[in-house]
């Protein structure tokens, strides 16, 4: 009897095992059993041989009339040809390199033969049919025959070297000697409580089902198990957070925060007030905050984070703000320094006049060595109250005197490893408070799945006075004059004193997509920044100040361009998705996205969030060559029809696998969510979460749930290797 971890070669032989490993990466019994059929074909009702049609899936009952085995003419190997007849006609069955079948397929025997009709040199035949021979001493049994014909044939993800039908045989071999007591994350108690079968039965149901009901019940079990294991992981993390210590940083009546609120040039929205209260409550606790702040683009998340940072500084701590790109880190630095105004001190030294102030320090990878050294020193000595940098640089050698709060901007995922790295930076025995901010709003269940161990705050309203962005789809091919109009429109905005973005999917004719872009489709012929720059600055936008910005430029150049654009010295910025997140230039009023169909729905929503950020109405033009009525055009129409980021992210998610949601680009890992789809399986996730939390209440260390504990280790191992791969 074999178990889930038995190597495949012990069961299917080393040749098949090698093919399985090469073609699909399957090495163990479990790997193979989790290679699920992607659909099932019906064998087909019993058919008479007369009138068989090519390409039809058929089952026939017939007697073998002759059998020959001969070497093939063109290739190596042998071919076994079996002729059968049912009285109405004759049919040839062929098997390659399966001479051993000659022993059972003998003339005179009857059986059921099932497969797809093909034509070879004008003759219809069945290649590699499945069959069931009728025992020699028995009359053909009509009921058994009908059941055989009705059975479902699993169709597997296959390759030309390992076709689907070989899986059928392989799975049969594996299932035959499989230990009936194999376990996954579900204990027998949970199985029976939820009305599920054993894992063994579920594998049988999915690989050799007798009916659709069995397939459905197996799928349900696998989906629930995935959700359950993941929710248990999150539950454990939450318990750990609740147990760990942080330094409480309560709001002080006097200090930087109070002074800042005095000079704030606008009134906080009700939503911002609410979110700030939630954050302040969290950080005045002696346990670390783990909060996700999600809010529409432009909803004003940064202010909420900044107020929290100031409160931490008022309590003697430091705060770090991590941005995904250097452009964004630079922008945060400049805008925070300008918002703080006179509250910024150059050296972080105590002001003898008693004025509250703090030092704000930028730390990025491209800074000169001396500047970096100075920044590192400011962080380590504690003189910098706020350190702003990129995620990447932060993982390195930065030390803090007393890191009290980490704000992670525009990040979907902030894993355990990142958090562990942070813990090492705060005062011994404590962890910093963590606030993760994202402008890609996600539905509740996704949030529960991805951030199940975080509290969630949401900013829905935009600051008053914003005029909603108008979005239009511009079909460039159908209406070339409309494209002309796009460039004219940009010219008009500039003449009114506003600024514009033109976004392209590529940097240059040769390059791949830029960073941040999640599209991998065919990249030839897509608009690129360099050519667009040349075209616009010498053509339709000649005379305007046009500049380009993309990831291949040196960091200081990127920074310069971004700053000049912020200062209004550049009229039109031609860019890749480097401007996707966070860039904040309120004077920009129009954005043209060229070849917009190459961007994701949420990405487009993010991009257009760069305009209409001030008092100027925003306009976004989605230029596309996609055809009317095509799915890509429908996606663009969806973006144009709503400004509701939640709605759009739902559309986006429905088209993706959750691997992307979780940040796991590679599927097929042990813990990889194979069947679970966060949107479709909303109810399962909610139920799994309840069951997981109930269990953790009784058995928080999983001492009585060892196989679940093992599954959890696998998930964590996967996350760790993914983290290491990225680093
Ligand atoms: P996001 O949530 O997209 O990160 P930001 O924090 O960058 O948004 O804020 C967008 C813009 O709105 C900034 O220019 C910011 O100064 C401004 N802002 C934030 N809160 C308010 C408010 N309550 N009233 C007016 N403007 C605000
Ligand atoms: Mg932002």
pLDDT at 479: 84
**Choice among 468-482, 580-594, 639-653 with the minimum mean pLDDT:** 639-653
Q: Which of 302, 331, 337, 586 has most ligand 1 atoms within 8 Å of its beta carbon, as the pocket-test mutant? A: 302
**Choice among 238-242, 263-267, 384-388 with the minimum mean pLDDT:** 238-242
Quote the percentage of the chain above a pLDDT of 90.
Answer: 46
Pick from 348, 326, 334: which is nearest to 400 by CA? 348
Ligand 1 and 610: CB distance under 6 A: no
The minimum-distance atom of ligand 1 relative to the CA of 272 is: 23
Angle at 433 between CA 277 and CA 316, to 5 degrees: 90
pLDDT at 668: 36
Top-confidence residue, 321 or 142: 321
Average pLDDT score, the chain: 84
Please answer whether residues 348 and 358 qualify as being in contact, where contact means their C-beta atoms are separated by less than 8 angstroms: yes
pLDDT tens-digit map of 309-332 = 999 999 999 999 998 888 888 889
**pLDDT higher than threshold 90 for residue 666:** no
The minimum-distance atom of ligand 1 relative to the CA of 302 is: 6
pLDDT at 416: 58
Band (pLDDT 50/70/90 cuts) for residue 525 is low
How many other C-beta atoms lie within 10 A of the C-beta of residue 407? 28
pLDDT tens-digit map of 463-511 = 887 788 999 999 988 888 889 999 999 999 999 999 999 999 999 887 5
pLDDT at 77: 84
Instruction: Give the mean model confidence (pLDDT) for residues 452-458.
Output: 79
Residue 119 has what DSSP assignment? E
Top-confidence residue, 198 or 237: 198
How many other C-beta atoms lie within 10 A of the C-beta of residue 346? 9
Top-confidence residue, 725 or 130: 130
Instruction: Give the mean model confidence (pLDDT) for residues 574-598.
Output: 88
**pLDDT higher than threshold 50 for residue 663:** no
Minimal-distance CA residue to ligand 1 atom 25 = 463
Ligand 1 and 269: CB distance under 6 A: yes
pLDDT at 609: 87
pLDDT at 677: 65
**pLDDT higher than threshold 60 for residue 350:** no
Minimal-distance CA residue to ligand 1 atom 15 = 300
Instruction: Give the mean model confidence (pLDDT) for residues 374-399.
Output: 87
Considering 5-19, 156-170, 390-404, 607-621, the range whose residues carry the highest mean pLDDT is 5-19
Minimal-distance CA residue to ligand 1 atom 23 = 268
Minimal-distance CA residue to ligand 1 atom 18 = 300
**pLDDT higher than threshold 80 for residue 134:** no
CA of 414 to the centre of ligand 2 (A): 17
**pLDDT higher than threshold 70 for residue 166:** yes
How many other C-beta atoms lie within 10 A of the C-beta of residue 521? 10
Ligand 1 and 266: CB distance under 6 A: yes
- Indicate the pTM of the whole model: 0.68
Please answer whether residues 23 and 159 qualify as being in contact, where contact means their C-beta atoms are separated by less than 8 angstroms: yes
DSSP class per residue in 192-256? HHHT---HHHHHHHHHS-SSHHHHHHHHHHHHHHHHHHHHHHHHHHHHHHHHS-----PPPSSSH
Considering 161-175, 384-398, 485-499, 581-595, the range whose residues carry the highest mean pLDDT is 485-499
CA distance 548 to 353: 46
In a 3-state reduction of DSSP, which class is residue 705? coil
pLDDT at 404: 95
Band (pLDDT 50/70/90 cuts) for residue 520 is very low
What is the phi/psi pair of residue 594, to 5°? Answer: -95, 140
């Amino acid at each position: 009897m074999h178990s889930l971890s038995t190597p495949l070669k012990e069961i299917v032989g080393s040749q098949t095992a090698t093919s399985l490993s090469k073609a699909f990466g399957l090495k163990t019994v479990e790997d193979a059993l989790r290679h699920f059929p992607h659909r099932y074909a019906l064998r087909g009702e019993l058919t008479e041989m007369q009138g068989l049609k090519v390409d039809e899936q058929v089952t026939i009952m017939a007697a073998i009339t002759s059998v020959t085995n001969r070497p093939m003419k063109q290739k190596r190997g042998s071919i076994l040809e079996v002729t059968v007849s049912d009285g109405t006609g004759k049919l040839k069955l062929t098997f390659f390199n399966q001479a051993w079948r000659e022993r059972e397929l003998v003339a005179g025997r009857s059986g059921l033969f099932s497969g797809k009709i093909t034509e070879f040199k004008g003759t219809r035949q069945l290649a590699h049919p499945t069959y069931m021979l009728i025992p020699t001493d028995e009359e053909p049994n009509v009921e058994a025959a009908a059941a055989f014909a009705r059975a479902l044939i699993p169709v597997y993800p296959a390759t030309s070297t390992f076709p689907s039908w070989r899986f059928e045989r392989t799975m049969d071999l594996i299932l035959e000697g499989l230990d009936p007591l194999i376990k996954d994350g579900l204990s027998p108690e949970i199985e029976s409580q939820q009305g599920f079968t054993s894992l063994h039965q579920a594998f049988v149901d999915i690989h050799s089902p007798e009916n659709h009901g069995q397939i459905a019940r197996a799928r349900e079990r696998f989906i629930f198990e995935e959700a359950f294991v993941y929710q248990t992981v999150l539950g454990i993390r939450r318990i750990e957070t609740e147990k760990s210590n942080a330094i409480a940083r309560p709001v002080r009546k006097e200090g930087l925060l109070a002074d800042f609120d005095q000079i704030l040039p606008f009134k906080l929205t009700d939503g911002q007030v609410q979110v700030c209260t939630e954050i302040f409550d969290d950080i005045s606790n002696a346990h670390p905050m783990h909060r996700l702040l999600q809010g529409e683009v432009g909803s004003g998340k940064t202010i909420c984070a900044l107020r929290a940072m100031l409160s931490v500084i008022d309590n003697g701590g430091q705060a770090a703000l991590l941005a995904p790109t250097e452009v964004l880190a630079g922008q945060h630095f400049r805008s925070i320094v300008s918002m703080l105004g006179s509250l910024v001190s150059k050296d972080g030294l105590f002001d003898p006049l008693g004025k509250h102030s703090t030092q704000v320090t930028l730390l990025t990878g491209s800074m000169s060595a001396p500047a970096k050294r100075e920044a590192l020193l400011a962080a380590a000595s504690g003189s910098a109250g706020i350190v702003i940098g990129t995620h990447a640089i932060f993982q390195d050698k930065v030390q803090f005197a007393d890191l009290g709060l980490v704000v992670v901007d525009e990040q979907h995922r902030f894993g355990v490893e990142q958090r562990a790295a942070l813990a090492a930076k705060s005062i011994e025995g404590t962890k910093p408070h963590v606030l993760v901010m994202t402008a890609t709003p996600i539905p509740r269940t996704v949030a529960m799945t991805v951030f199940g161990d975080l509290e969630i705050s949401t900013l829905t309203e935009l600051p008053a006075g914003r005029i909603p962005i108008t979005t239009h789809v511009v079909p460039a091919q159908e209406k070339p004059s409309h494209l002309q109009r796009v460039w004219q429109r940009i010219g008009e905005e500039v003449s009114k004193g506003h600024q514009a973005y033109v976004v392209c999917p590529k940097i240059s004719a040769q390059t791949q997509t830029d960073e941040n872009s999640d599209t991998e489709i065919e990249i030839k012929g897509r608009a690129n920044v360099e050519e667009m720059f040349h075209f616009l600055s010498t053509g339709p936008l000649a005379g305007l100040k046009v500049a380009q910005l993309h990831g291949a430029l040196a960091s200081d150049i990127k920074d310069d361009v971004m700053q000049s654009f912020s200062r209004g010295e550049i009229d039109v910025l031609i860019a890749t998705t480097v401007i996707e997140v966070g860039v904040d230039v309120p004077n920009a009023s129009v954005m043209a996205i060229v070849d917009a169909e190459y961007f994701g729905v949420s990405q487009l929503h993010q991009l257009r969030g760069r305009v209409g950020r001030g008092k100027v109405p925003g306009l976004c033009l989605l230029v596309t060559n996609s055809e009317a009525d095509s799915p890509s055009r429908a996606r663009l129409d969806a973006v144009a029809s709503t400004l509701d980021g939640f709605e759009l992210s739902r559309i986006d998610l429905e088209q993706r696998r959750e691997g992307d949601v979780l940040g796991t680009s590679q599927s097929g890992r042990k813990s990889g969510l194979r069947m679970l789809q966060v949107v479709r399986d909303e109810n399962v996730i909610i139920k799994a979460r309840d069951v997981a939390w109930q269990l953790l209440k009784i058995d928080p260390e999983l001492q009585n749930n060892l196989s679940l504990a093992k599954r959890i280790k696998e998930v964590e191992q996967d996350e760790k290797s993914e983290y290491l791969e990225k680093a």
